[in-house]
Amino acid sequence: MNKTIIRTENLTKYYNKGMANEVLAVHSVSVGIERGDFAVLKGPSGSGKTTLLSLVGCMTRPTSGSITVEERDISHFPERFLTDIRRKTFGFIFQQFHLIQGMSVLQNVMVPLFPTDIDITLLKKRAADILEGLGMSKRKDFPVQGLSGGEQQRTAIARALINDPEVVLADEPTAHLDTALSQDYMGVMKELWDRGKTVIIASHDPLVFDNEYVTLTVEMRDGMVKSISRR
């Protein structure tokens, strides 16, 4: 098995290309992320971290350049295949958690796999196990809007793990958390990483990138890579 799980080659992304409000959000980025990396994308606001993360996570397509995920060049894949890769390879944790309001914690964790052939009781059990691992068992039938910030965070993590993804992606996960909860969160990420997941986090929070277990730091500025350091 190849060590590199994701590789980008001269990856470039314009928003509104050709129009007055054209933005070059990511410019000629070439990086390789290996299996088992704990990677951090850092850089000031507007430097293109979120854009790069969504390109890598197959959420949007590049304007030019290529992205290879598990040795498949996905830049020209039809959207159905991108969805498939998102569902099988990635687990996303969004900045605003983006839980589905009005549903229970357990239901929220199950949502990604509803449109698959998994048996519902099996899915329920799997979701319950993940929640248990995150210490959320007693909250599992709560509606998500009643949860504390930290609990919402854990629900979002559990949802990202329901498909047992190879890679966990998170965008500014600590932006809305206090120091204690942020450290808590990083603890969970480290645990996942210890269990063999590849972790990619976009953040400009030192609590995230100043950790000795970070193996790859990609520093961005103005859509370009300023430096790549590997440890």
Partner 1 sequence: MSLNSHINVLDFTLQSLLRRKFKNLGILLVFTLIVFITGSILFLSYSFKQEAMLILKGSPELIVQKMSGGRHELIPVKISKYIAGIPGVSSVEPHYWGYYYDALIKANYTVVAASTPLSRNNRMLLGRLPEKDETGVVALGREVAKARFVDLGGTVALLSSAGELLDFEVVGIFEAESELLTADLVVIGLPDVIKLFRIPDGLATDLAVSVSNETEAPVIAAKIRTEFPDTRPILKNEIIRTYDAVFGWRSGLIVTLFAGALVAFIILAWDKASGLSAEEKKEIGILKAIGWETSDILEMKFWEGLAISLSSFLLGVILAYIHVYLFGASFFAPALKGWSVIYPDFRLVPFIDPYQIAMLMSLTVIPYIASTIIPSWKAAITDPDEVMRG
Ligand X SMILES: Nc1ncnc2c1ncn2[C@@H]1O[C@H](COP(=O)(O)OP(=O)(O)OP(=O)(O)O)[C@@H](O)[C@H]1O
Of the candidates 131, 142, 13, 122, the one whose C-alpha atom is nearest the C-alpha of residue 67 is 13
DSSP letter for 147, please. S
CA 66 distance to own-chain centroid: 19
When CB distances are held under 5 to 8 angstroms depending on the partner's kind, the choice from Mg ion, partner 1, ligand X, none that residue 48 binds is ligand X
15 binds ligand X (CB under 6 A): yes
Binding-site residue total for partner 1 (CB under 8 A)?
37
- What's the N-to-C CA distance of the chain in angstroms? 22
16 binds ligand X (CB under 6 A): yes
Min dist. Cβ of residue 94 to ligand X (A):
12
Site track 69-88 with partner 1 (rule: CB under 8 A), x = hit: ----------xx--xx-xx-
Min dist. Cβ of residue 175 to Mg ion (A):
9
Min dist. Cβ of residue 49 to ligand X (A):
4
CA distance 207 to 133: 23
Interaction residues for partner 1, span 164-203 (CB under 8 A): 171
CA distance 107 to 94: 18
CA 165 distance to own-chain centroid: 10
Site track 158-197 with ligand X (rule: CB under 6 A), x = hit: ----------------------------------------
Of the candidates 5, 82, 63, the one whose C-alpha atom is nearest the C-alpha of residue 39 is 5
Task: Between 83 and 179, name the residue whose CB sits nearer to partner 1.
Answer: 83
User: Among 111-119, 126-134, 147-155, 189-197, which window interacts with partner 1 (CB under 8 A)?
Assistant: 111-119
Please give the backbone phi and psi of residue 166, each rounded to the nearest 5 degrees, phi first: -70, -40
Q: Quick check: helix, strand or coil at residue 30?
A: coil
**At which residue do the structure tokens 């159905």 appear?**
80
Residues that bind Mg ion (CB under 5 A): 50
Residues that bind ligand X (CB under 6 A): 15-16, 23, 25, 43, 45-51, 204
